[in-house]
Structure 1
C-alpha cells in the first residue's frame, strides 16, 4: 500500500532580490516588523512548516551563522482585529535571541526556553535573527485559562519535554504520512495539555507520551556521557530531574538502567574497534575509558553481547583492511 507523505510548505527569502528579502519575509507574518540593523548581510531565511491535524508546526532557519540582524515585531490591537488570528503559539529559539514585552512583563527568552504567545493579545519583541521552532494550536483546542500564560515561559519538566517533542516533530515532518497524522496530533495535544494545565488528569492522559520523551532524554544523556566516570543513576536523575524510582521504571522493560548503560558502552567500544581510522589505542585502554576497569570482565560481557571477543573484532577489521576473507 502506498503511503502519502504530508505536504510541507516551504519558502526562502533567497527566491527574491536581495533588497526585497526582509519585506518578503515580514509580509508573511502576523506582526508589524521593522529592521533595526542588517549586520552587513542580506536577510536570508528559510521557512518550512506543515499542518498536523488542527495544529501547525514549523521552523525558521537563519542562513548567515553569527551575522545576525536585529529587528522589532509588534502585534497590537489594530493588527489583531485585522487578521483575526486566534491561536496559541509555543515557540523556542535554537539560536539568536528574543526580548519580549507583554502583559506578563518583559524579559529575554534564552535558547531552548519554550514560551507561549496568545495571538489575541498584544506584545512587542526585539529579535536577533536565528533559528526557531514553533507549534500553533487553535484557541478552541485548549482550556480558556491558557490565555493567562501569554508571554510566559514554560520552564517545568513537562515544558522541556514538550520542546523536545516539537524538535522531534519538526525533524521528522518529511517522513510523516497522512495516515499517521491523527495519532501524532493526539499525542502532541496530550503533551501540550499536560504542559499548560496543572490538573492530575492532564498528566495521567499524557503519561505514555511523557514516558517516551523521558526515555529519549535519558538515552541522549547516556550517549553524550558514555566515557564519563560519573555516569550513574544518581547523576542521571539529577541532570534529567527525575527520581530514581521513575528512572528504574522507565527502563525496567529493557533489563534496567545499568544494563542500558553497559549495552551502550559496549556498542561504542565495538564501533571504535571496528573503525579503520581509529588510533592504535589498546583494547584495555579503550575499555577503561568506557567504564570497564576489569579487562577479563569486559572481554566476557563483550563476547556475551556480540558473539566474539574484542580481539576478534580487531582481527576482523585487520582482515578487511588487507582484503582478506579468512584468517590464516
Structure 2
C-alpha cells in the first residue's frame, strides 16, 4: 500500500492485493470490513485480486476498485458492527452487478448509477467489480434531499440524462483529483452532493424545466469529455454516442445550436491550434506537430480549415503573434478567442 499525502493536495492512497499475499482473499475481506462483508465463489478465492485507490475530498471519499468475482453484503449485523451511515453512489465501468435492496433483486448494467443508504441492508453480486464510487457524509447530503428515503436503491439508467450527468461528474472528479487542493476538494464535495440531491429530488417530478436542466447538464458533460479527448484521432460522434449511451440523432440535436457535433469538435481543435500558435514558448514546434496534438492528422486539410475559421494561415497567425510579442503584447490581446467555436467554422460546407 502506498500513501501519497501532500499538505496542499487531496490525500490519496492506493493498494494492490494479489499473489504476493499469503491469503489475498482474507486481506481483501479485512480491507472492506468497515463497509461490507466480502464473499466470493470458492474457485475465485485462491487467486483473488483487488486494486483500490481513493481520493479524500473531506466529506466525500472518491474511490476506484477492480477485483475478482465478489459478493458484498450489508446485513443488519454488519450495519450494527461498522456504524457506517454514509450514502454510497457508484457505477461499474465494465461488467455489471446484481443489486438487492428491500428484498428485491435487479440487474445493474455497466454505466448505470446505483445509490445506497449504508444504514439499510443491501447486497451486490458481480462477476468482477470495476467501479468508481463516492461515499458521502450523511450530514452533507441529507439536508438537500426532499425525502431521504427516496435515495436507497435508486438506479439511474446509463442512457438517461440523470445517469449520464452523475456518471460524468464522478468521472470528472476522478480526472481532476490529482491536481486539486484540499480547499478545492471541499468545493467539489459540495457540488457533488448538490448534483446528486437535485437528481434524486427530480425523480419525483417531471416538469419540462427539470428535463431541460438535465439535458443542458448532459450537454456540458459531453463538452467536458470532448475537451478531455480532443487530441484523440478516434474522437468522433459515433464514439461519443457509444460512451454516453445516446443515439446519434439525440447527440446531433444536442449540438444543433452549435452547428453540429462534428463542427463543434473541429472548432475546439482549431481553437487549441490557434492558442498554441499564438504562444511564443511554442514557436519552435512544427505546425504539423501542433495540428497532430489537437487531433488534426491531415495538416493540409487542417491548414485550409484553420484559414476558413480564423481568416489567416497558420504561419501568418504565428508571425503575427511574434510581432505582437516583440511589441510587448500577448496573442490574447490581439485576437478574440471564442469559448467554443470560431465563427468561421459555421460557414463550412
TM (norm. structure 2) is 0.63
Instruction: Work out the CA distance in 2 between the residues paired with 1:242 and 1:227.
Output: 11
Q: Is the Cα–Cα contact under 8 Å of residues 99 and 107 in structure 2 kept in the other structure?
A: yes
Instruction: Work out the CA distance in 2 between the residues paired with 1:137 and 1:220.
Output: 26
**2:156 alignment partner, SS class:** coil
Name the structure 1 match of 2:120: 121
Instruction: Work out the CA distance in 2 between the residues paired with 1:104 and 1:38.
Output: 27
Deviation at 1:59, TM superposition (A): 0.7
Q: Structure 2, unaligned stretches of length 5 or more?
A: 1-5, 278-285, 317-349
TM (norm. structure 1) is 0.66
Name the structure 2 match of 1:213: 221
State the Cα deviation string for residues 160-189 of structure 1 (Å, max 9, x = none): 111111112123222111131232122212
Instruction: Work out the CA distance in 2 between the residues paired with 1:193 and 1:179.
Output: 22
Instruction: Work out the CA distance in 1 between the residues paired with 2:127 and 2:164.
Output: 23
Name the structure 1 match of 2:311: 304
Q: Structure 1, unaligned stretches of length 5 or more?
A: 63-68, 310-328
Instruction: Work out the CA distance in 2 between the residues paired with 1:124 and 1:258.
Output: 43
**2:154 alignment partner, SS class:** coil
Name the structure 2 match of 1:27: 30
Q: Does 1:181 align with 2:181?
A: no
Deviation at 1:152, TM superposition (A): 2.8
Q: Is the Cα–Cα contact under 8 Å of residues 56 and 136 in structure 1 kept in the other structure?
A: yes
Q: Does 1:49 align with 2:46?
A: no
Q: Is the Cα–Cα contact under 8 Å of residues 33 and 71 in structure 1 kept in the other structure?
A: yes
Deviation at 1:20, TM superposition (A): 1.5
1:305–1:60 CA distance, 2 compared to 1 (3 A): farther
Provide the aligned C-alpha RMSD in A: 4.5
Name the structure 1 match of 2:339: none
Q: Is the Cα–Cα contact under 8 Å of residues 103 and 150 in structure 1 kept in the other structure?
A: no
Instruction: Work out the CA distance in 1 between the residues paired with 2:112 and 2:124.
Output: 15
Instruction: Work out the CA distance in 2 between the residues paired with 1:120 and 1:71.
Output: 21
Deviation at 1:194, TM superposition (A): 1.9
Name the structure 1 match of 2:15: 11
Deviation at 1:265, TM superposition (A): 6.3
1:304–1:182 CA distance, 2 compared to 1 (3 A): same
**2:110 alignment partner, SS class:** coil
State the Cα deviation string for residues 234-278 of structure 1 (Å, max 9, x = none): xx995485794x6466x5xxx99675344256579x99954999x
Aligned residues: 279
Q: Is the Cα–Cα contact under 8 Å of residues 226 and 265 in structure 1 kept in the other structure?
A: no
Instruction: Work out the CA distance in 2 between the residues paired with 1:27 and 1:101.
Output: 23
Instruction: Work out the CA distance in 2 between the residues paired with 1:28 and 1:283.
Output: 50
Instruction: Work out the CA distance in 1 between the residues paired with 2:63 and 2:55.
Output: 6
Q: Which moved more, 1:179-188 or 1:38-47?
A: 38-47
Which of 260, 264, 278 in structure 1 is aligned with 2:264?
260
1:238-257 equivalences under 5 Å are 238-239=247-248, 241=250, 244=253, 247=255
Instruction: Work out the CA distance in 2 between the residues paired with 1:72 and 1:23.
Output: 14
